[in-house]
Structure 1
Amino acid sequence: MNFQDLKKVEKPQFYLDVALNKAAKKADDKRNTITGKNRFEKSKQIEMIRIEVIESVLNEHLLRIEKSFPSIDQLDQFYQELIKLTLDYRDLKKSLGAVKWATKTIRILFKTYRSKLSRCSDMKFINKLRREYVGRVSSVVNQIKKNLLYLDECRKTMRSYPAVKTNMFTVCIFGFPNAGKSTLLKEMTNANPEVNSYAFTTKKLNFGYIKTNFFKIQVIDTPGTLNRKDKMNYIETQAHLALEHLANLVVYVFDPMFEYSLNEQEKLLRRISKDKEVLLYLSKTDIASKENIEMISKKYKILNKEELTEKLIKKVKVSQLEL
């Protein structure tokens, strides 16, 4: 899912100005082309065109807003939870509902005043009906001002969401900060570098892809530790969502420099291993002490980068056969 295409949601007056200006131009064009009509019939046709353009332009913009936002309930669970984490879920749905209400109401008003204009038999009421229509339509659009403002705030937040391929076999890389996760991500995907970063406030989820001739594997470097489920910060909660809803498999990175103790790293490993199959990798073997490397490698089945990639490809092939 890609939220980058969400367009700016303007304030009510912007849409009203666009609609009224286009309507005025169309009315002038009509005025200059009508021939053989008496003043009454000419005025009626001009005002009919005016209200028609107002309705058309306003609803074109409002429908574009409504359709540009995804149907929340049909999104992958990862995005549903991310929306609930970063936005007021109820206010978002309420605001989209308000736009839908405005679209429907403007359409009803147009039909009502089109009928009134067509039945009008008194010249002095034509402009009165048009003014009534413009006033009521303007009131409808202004009633959703707060909703439009909130939708634009939602748009800004949602544009920062990662473009996750939710139907692709996904591997999440976990480990403590500075454990070497991003380095592993780059090295595993280096043959076909398709690595991008999607910002979440001050932290990032980093994405890369392992390509074969037949399929791709999505690899995600997930910030945060998840080692304190009851006290997760903002980015750790996002990492938890990736683990829970995206990961088919986890690669856990041990750091033999022990910036975080082995006990802390093992605690995090146990936490992750409860729900997902985990493959183990040991980083920084070129600079860590031999003693620290052996302490981990003798206790756990550690895979190197080539073995990891081979294992992941086999996992995908097996998963495809099981479909």
Structure 2
Amino acid sequence: MIFESLPTTPTSEELIDQAFSRAARAGRAKQGVEAQQSMLQTASNILGDNLHNVVTEWPDFDHVDPFYGELADAILREEFASEDGIDELRQHLSELSWASSKTHDLGREYIGRLPNDAEKARSLRKQGFGRMGSVMDQVEDDLEAVGAARDALKTLPEIQPDVPTVVVAGYPNVGKSSFVNAVTNASIETAEYPFTTKSVDIGHFERDHITWQLVDTPGLLDRPADERNEIEDQAVSALTHVGDVILFFVDASAACGYPVADQQALRAEVGDRFGDAPLVTVCSKTDLSAEIEADCYMSVEGGEGVTETLTAAVDAVGHEPELPFEE
């Protein structure tokens, strides 16, 4: 996942301590004016290079997959308590880029101004350190914000946008989790959205040597849009970029606690939201009731229709692997 490898963002205090302590060691290795020059060079390099690295470790959001871009924007809007997510992060990174250039410039400026007198050079070097410290004070909040953004995004659910994906939807307790557990070839991966206490469940299965992804999103696609907050709604929008087909589960018995009419209304809403992605309606819990019109009828409990439901999802997509060019 693109944000998982982002390194921990240092604080302003940590960078200042590192730069000035390393500079002091560099100065002790030399004498007179040369020692002051070495200290300025070391401090400016450490500050400038580390700030530059913080900025360049982040991906270019203009080239991030739309799923991760939109989800990241939602999470950062929540993190920053702002109407801007990615744009605000870009502003913080821009400030750090300025500070990187400024600390390098200050190192060069003060090295160029050092007199031949060792004591005067020492005084000027201290002045240079003071100005570098002032620059770091100016970006203290920017470093903190970038660090908070990194911590929020590193826990994003690891959904793979380039893998054909079945999104499972429907009200709670309609049999979605039982189905996902029944058809996946490994244990379910569970991850939490940073903006909710709900988890996303991700499973995988293979069909015709192609690995497919199954995504169940409790807290997002299990209730009407007017019950989701703005951040959750944007997360649903992000999911539209990865959903190749929607399996919508309806419990015709209403044993799930939701009237069939409400379930069908949510189905229509989800279908509209995902636009061109085919929607396959699954009547689940057929051991209790099958009294609705659906594309598939299934009972995980009774072991009926499970494979057929998965096949219907795959067939609805019509996904074909890319084959090597043949003469």
Secondary structure (helix, strand or coil) at the match of 1:245 reads: coil
For residue 189 of structure 2, what is the aligned residue in structure 1? 195
Shift of 1:277: 0.4
Q: CA deviation at 1:238?
A: 5.3
Q: Which moved more, 1:76-85 or 1:163-172?
A: 76-85
Residue correspondences, number = 302
Closer/same/farther in 2, CA of residues 239 and 12 from structure 1, 3 Å limit: closer
Structure whose CA Rg is larger: 1
Cross-structure match for 1:184 = 179
Q: CA deviation at 1:206?
A: 1.2
Q: CA deviation at 1:204?
A: 1.3
Q: Counterpart of 2:16? A: 16
Whole-angstrom CA distance in 1 between matches of 2:231 and 2:282: 23
**Which position in structure 1 is the counterpart of 2:268?**
270
Change (3 A) 1:214 1:204: same
Unaligned residue ranges in structure 2 (runs of 5+) = 78-84, 298-304
Preserved CA contact (<8 Å) 1:177 1:225: no
* Structure-to-structure mapping, 1:87-102, within 5 angstroms: 87-88=76-77, 89=85, 90-102=87-99
Q: Distance in 1 between matches of 2:173 and 2:206?
A: 26
Q: Which structure has greater helix proportion?
A: 1
What is aligned with 2:80?
A: none
Q: Say if 1:66 and 1:96, in contact at 8 Å, map to a contact too.
A: yes
Query: Who is 1:110 aligned against?
Result: 107
Q: Is the 8 A contact 1:181 1:221 kept in 2?
A: yes
| Residue 175 (structure 1) shift | 0.4
Q: Is the Cα contact below 8 Å between 1:226 and 1:236 reproduced in 2?
A: no
Range moving further from structure 2, 310-319 or 196-205: 310-319
Instruction: Look up the equivalent residue of 1:130 and give its one-letter code.
Output: R
Q: How does 1:172-251 map to 2 (within 5 A)?
A: 172-189=167-184, 191-193=185-187, 195-200=189-194, 201-212=196-207, 214-223=209-218, 224-225=220-221, 228-233=224-229, 236-237=232-233, 240-251=236-247
Q: Any conservation in 1 of the 2:249–2:282 contact (CA below 8 Å)?
A: yes
Relative to the length of structure 1, the TM-score reads 0.84
Structure 2 CA distance for aligned equivalents of residues 184 and 204 of structure 1: 17
Structure 1 residues 206, 112: closer, same or farther in 2, change over 3 A?
same
Instruction: Give secondary structure in 1 for the equivalent of 2:107.
Output: helix
Give the Cα–Cα distance (whole angstroms) in 2 for the partners of residues 21 and 285 of structure 1: 71
Classify 1:84/1:195 alpha carbon distance in 2 versus 1 (closer, same or farther; 3 Å): closer
Two-structure CA RMSD over aligned residues (Å): 2.5
Q: Contact conserved, 1:12 with 1:141, CA < 8 A, in 2?
A: yes
- Deviation, 1:143, is 0.3
Say whether 1:309 aligns with 2:298.
no
Secondary structure of the residue aligned to 1:149 is helix
Distance change >3 Å, CA 242–CA 250, structure 1 → 2:
farther
Alpha carbons of structure 1 residues 156 and 11: separation in structure 2 relative to 1, 3 Å: same
- Ranges in structure 1 where 5+ consecutive residues have no aligned partner: 32-41
Structure 2 counterpart of 1:309, which letter? L
Could you list the per-position Cα deviations for residues 162-182 of structure 1 after superposition, in whole angstroms to 9, with x for gaps in the alignment? 122111111110000122222
Partner residue in 2 for 1:57: 46
Cα distance in 2, alignment partners of residues 266 and 315 from structure 1? 20
